[in-house]
Amino acid sequence: MLRSVLFAFLLSLVSATAFANSCPSIMAAIDAAVPTATLSEADMTKVKALRVKGEELHAAGDHAGSEAALNEAKKMLGI
């Protein structure tokens, strides 16, 4: 029984760590797409603001919020 609980706990830590590490890869994808993006000035400003917000949320430990903001920027960029 103790092994099962310990295994479940360790598995949750691994998945949380993997989730937290996806934020930097999304930021990198956004950074790579911005220079060649053909968006209006207003949309580009919004993408950059979402990118900054995503990085700030990631640094604060809010990885779900970070990923939401970053995925919205990705959607606007078409990636």
Q: In the chain, where are the structural domains located? A: 21-77
**Is 80 exceeded by the pLDDT of residue 33?**
yes
**Which pLDDT value is given to residue 17?**
47
pLDDT band, very low/low/confident/very high, at 24 (cuts 50, 70, 90): very high
Contacts of 63 (CB under 8 A, 6+ apart): 19, 20, 22, 23, 57
**Is 80 exceeded by the pLDDT of residue 3?**
no
Region 17-29 average pLDDT: 78
Q: What is the pLDDT of residues 42-71, one digit of tens each?
A: 999 999 999 999 999 999 999 999 999 999
